Amino acid sequence: MPQTSKTGTATVEITQQNFKQVVEKEGIVLIDWWAAWCGPCKMFAPTYEKVAAKNPDLTFGKVDTEAQQELAGSFDIRSIPTLMILRDKVLLFSQAGALPEAALEDLIKQVRALDMEKVRAEIAEQEKKQAANA
């Protein structure tokens, strides 16, 4: 199964050129950092595509770390696959390793259920504390 987005798949290929446009979308954006030589990435790809097809209201992106080395470097991607989840431009989850389908579905359910006003308030509070301690 090809790793890159082709017509008919539920994922978007993310590059340096379209990264900002994709991650700044409102709603939930998932990013799969992968490479063609990575065995666990190849095993995770069908699961990611399947869950993407079940959740057409979400944005599922894929970043080929070989083709987008500068982008991967700017996010300090050290092992792949790495999954990131953003909601309303806030990074909520970042973890290396392939997830089983049920775990990915559960993670999406948790992100959907978050009160983003509360999350933003907690982030602001943390930033205030960090600024006071600087």
With H, G, I as helix, E, B as strand and everything else as coil, classify residue 10.
coil
Q: How far apart are CA 92 and CA 22, in angstroms?
A: 16
* Catalytic status, residue 89: no
Q: Which residue among the candidates 31, 38, 58, 80 is catalytic per the annotation?
A: 38
Which token pair is 97? 């390793």
Catalytic (active site) residue 133: no
Beta strands in 26-123 (DSSP E): 28-34, 59-64, 82-87, 90-96
Query: Cα separation of 111 and 93, whole Å?
Result: 9
CA distance 6 to 82: 21
One of 12, 14, 29, 41 is an active-site residue; which one? 41
Q: What SS3 class is residue 19?
A: helix
The catalytic residues are 38, 41
